[in-house]
Amino acid sequence: MSWEVVIGIEIHVQLRTERKLFCANRVAFGDAPNTHVCPVCLGLPGALPTLNPEAVRLALRTALAVECTVHERSVWARKNYFYPDLPKGYQITQFEEPLATDGRVVFDVDGAERSVRIRRIHMEEDAGKLVHDRFPGVSAVDLNRAGTPLVEIVTEPDLRSPAQTRAFLAALKQILEYVDVSDCNMEEGSLRADANVSLRPSGSETLGTKTEIKNVNSFSGIERALEIEIERQRGVLEAGGSIDQQTLLWDDHRGAVRPMRSKEESHDYRYFPDPDLPTLRITPDTVARARSALPELPRARRARFVTEHGLSEYDAGVLTQTAATAGYFEAVAGGIADAKTAANWVMGPVLALMNERKEDATGFAVGAPRLVALLTLLREGVVSDGAAKKVLGLLATEDADPREIVEREGLVQVRDTGQLDAWVAEVMEANPDEVQRYRDGETRILGFLMGRVMAASRGKADPRQVNELLRSALES
């Protein structure tokens, strides 16, 4: 029988704040252990949390970027469990009354448009790190990360395949980067996704028993983990067995999932409102201001590029991949008032050069104004297309004006007819036989003569003009 796959996702996003969620320590990755800690994030007796407004701003931005309803009051709750990387013995999070609910993310997967509903978004603090590879026989605790602000984004079970899931996550990551709330670095753990997956007979409305896959740190990893788990479930179900609800850990090295040991699994979190923190209140006009401060989001920008700049869906997609690239393109297109040329250059030589130099549009050595200047020279015919590409390379290595480089490198095209006539005459004199063969009707020979003239000009002659002058000279 055929099965329908049902997938829901929980994403933890580390907010790009300067300080921790409930204390004044800096958020820092990779520093010496336990150097960004204080009484609050160490959970010392008597210490109390205070809420970082910057984290609230970024969380609000996140919620609006995925079209959530932001609630005027949301309530901090304690999630109680014991683990050495959790200093207070509870995590401060939001439970019954989260920051925001009912959003959606629209994205494309192999040509088709899909939409995933966002069930809720809440804020919470991150835990520290418990490492087992530091000392023999003992584990080690580093609490630098403890108290780092996170938002947890929970979707409805609207995804139907591992590929879709991957595409959704890519779309979500792109949105988060556009609104600039997180650096979305999966290796550093600033973006972490857990997946719930279950199977049900095609056509059935009731959900099957789900398992949860945790600990995946790449999009490809999630896709693979889901494929493997789906096959496992299919096998069990088709053998007439049943799935038991459990949490599975993804092992990236072995490329396999293993069940969490029951010890690692938690039973009863005893959530209750945190009496140390007042209700979080966000006024409607704070929400309004945050909404109007949102930048244009990827899909909207892509659509506009198609209608406003007359680009193909594909080109628009490439150029809106990141907000920086899109901004760079629009600056260039505006500067030369020619979107097509701007698109060809940005997607072609410019992106190629960026990759080669491992730069992105933000830090690209050739800023939009200098590229605009270069493309203007090209349009005016001052430089040839080939010369312009050569100049682009040079612009990346030195902070000079395109025109200077063109002149210094002697890349200006010669278009003075007197000089061109002289070269043409010189070549015709030097090659009487070829001239005769042309006049006898062997017009293919024109290319050879063109080449001689260009050679005589050491490549500087404007080929279009040479072609005209040579032809008229031969035919007179």
Partner 1 sequence: MTRSVTTRIRESEAGPEGLNAFITVVEESDVPTDLPDGPLQGVPVAVKDNIATLGLPTTCGSRLLEHYRSPFEATAVRKLREAGAVIVGKTNLDEFAMGSSTENSAFGPARNPHDRTRVTGGSSGGSAAAVAAGYVPMALGSETGGSVRQPAAFCGVAGLKPTYGRVSRYGLVAFASSMDQIGTFGRTVADAARLLEVIAGHDPLDATSIDRPAPDLTGALDRGVDGLVVGVPSEYLPDSLDPGIRERVDRALARLEREGAELREVSLPHSRFAIPTYYVIAPAEASSNLSRFDGVRYGVRTEGDDIGDMVEATRTHGFGTEVQRRIMLGTYALSAGYYEQYYGRAQRARGRIVQDFRDVFGTGVDALFTPTTPTTAFPLGEWLDDPVQMYLSDVFTVTANLAGIPGMSVPIGTLEGLPVGGQILAPWWREETAVAIGSVLESTLTEEVR
Partner 2 sequence: MSVKREEVLRIAKLARLRLDEDELERMTGDLNSILEHVDALGSLEGDGEIAGTAFEEGPSTRDEEASDGERGLDPSVVAPAWRDGFYLVPPPPGVHAEGDGS
Q: Tell me which residues touch Zn ion (CB under 5 A).
A: 23, 25, 38, 40-41
Q: Which two tokens stand for residue 438?
A: 């042309």
The one of Zn ion, Mg ion, partner 2, none whose footprint includes residue 222, by CB under 5 to 8 A per kind, is: none
Does the CA dihedral 35-16-14-119 come out positive or negative? positive
Kindly give the interhelix angle for 53-65 and 162-179, rounded to the nearest 10 degrees. Answer: 130
State the Rg of the chain over Cα.
31
Which one, 80 or 431, has the nearer CB to partner 1?
80
Which one, 152 or 330, has the nearer CB to Mg ion?
152
| SS3 sequence of 1-62 | CCEEEEEEEEEEEECCCCECCCCCCECCCCCCCCCCCCCCCCCCCCCCCCCCHHHHHHHHHH
Chosen residue from 4, 29, 57, 80 binding partner 1 by CB under 8 A: 80
Q: Which two tokens stand for residue 31?
A: 């520093």
- How far is the CA of 266 from the CAs of 198, 214, 292, in angstroms? 21, 14, 41
The one of partner 1, Mg ion, Zn ion, none whose footprint includes residue 46, by CB under 5 to 8 A per kind, is: partner 1
Closest residue to Mg ion, based on beta-carbon distance: 152
**Cα–Cα distance between 201 and 78 in angstroms, integer?**
39
Q: Are strands 73-74 and 69-70 parallel, antiparallel or unpaired?
A: unpaired
Chosen residue from 32, 240, 242, 429 binding partner 2 by CB under 8 A: 32
**Cα–Cα distance between 124 and 151 in angstroms, integer?**
6
Site string for partner 1, 318-357 (x = CB under 8 A): ----------------------------------------
Chosen residue from 28, 141, 324, 414 binding partner 1 by CB under 8 A: 141
Shortest gap between Cβ of 373 and partner 1 (angstroms)?
53
152 binds Mg ion (CB under 5 A): yes
**Cα–Cα distance between 119 and 142 in angstroms, integer?**
33
Site for partner 2 in 41-100 (CB under 8 A): 42, 44, 50-54, 56, 82, 84
The residue whose two tokens read 């030369």 is 336
Chosen residue from 69, 115, 139, 344 binding partner 2 by CB under 8 A: 139
69 sits in which H/E element: strand 69-70
264 binds partner 2 (CB under 8 A): yes
39 binds partner 1 (CB under 8 A): yes
DSSP-assigned letter for residue 86: -
433 sits in which H/E element: helix 432-439
Q: How many CB atoms lie within 10 A of CB 119?
A: 18
Site for partner 2 in 282-301 (CB under 8 A): 282
Which one, 84 or 451, has the nearer CB to Zn ion?
84
The one of Mg ion, partner 2, partner 1, none whose footprint includes residue 78, by CB under 5 to 8 A per kind, is: partner 1
Chosen residue from 42, 154, 186, 303 binding partner 1 by CB under 8 A: 42
Chosen residue from 30, 46, 111, 136 binding partner 2 by CB under 8 A: 136
The one of Mg ion, partner 1, partner 2, none whose footprint includes residue 47, by CB under 5 to 8 A per kind, is: partner 1
Q: Are strands 112-125 and 149-155 parallel, antiparallel or unpaired?
A: antiparallel
Which one, 38 or 331, has the nearer CB to Zn ion?
38
Are the C-beta atoms of 385 and 413 separated by less than 8 Å? no
- How far is the CA of 442 from the CAs of 197, 241, 329, 468, in angstroms? 73, 82, 47, 17
Chosen residue from 18, 69, 89, 202 binding partner 1 by CB under 8 A: 89
Shortest gap between Cβ of 23 and Zn ion (angstroms)?
3
Chosen residue from 115, 202, 204, 279 binding partner 2 by CB under 8 A: 279
The one of Mg ion, partner 2, Zn ion, none whose footprint includes residue 41, by CB under 5 to 8 A per kind, is: Zn ion
The one of partner 1, Zn ion, Mg ion, none whose footprint includes residue 25, by CB under 5 to 8 A per kind, is: Zn ion
Q: Which two tokens stand for residue 79?
A: 């999630």
Which one, 139 or 312, has the nearer CB to partner 1?
139
DSSP-assigned letter for residue 113: E
Task: List the alpha helices (DSSP H) in 212-357.
Answer: 219-238, 284-292, 298-309, 313-319, 323-336, 339-345, 351-357
Which one, 99 or 466, has the nearer CB to partner 2?
99
Residues contributing to the site for partner 1 (CB under 8 A): 39, 42-51, 78, 80, 82, 84, 87-90, 139, 141, 263, 267-268, 270-272, 275-278
Q: Which residues form the interface with Mg ion (CB under 5 A)?
A: 152
The contact set with partner 2 (CB under 8 A) reads 19, 23-26, 32-39, 42, 44, 50-54, 56, 82, 84, 130-143, 261, 263-264, 267-268, 270, 275, 278-282
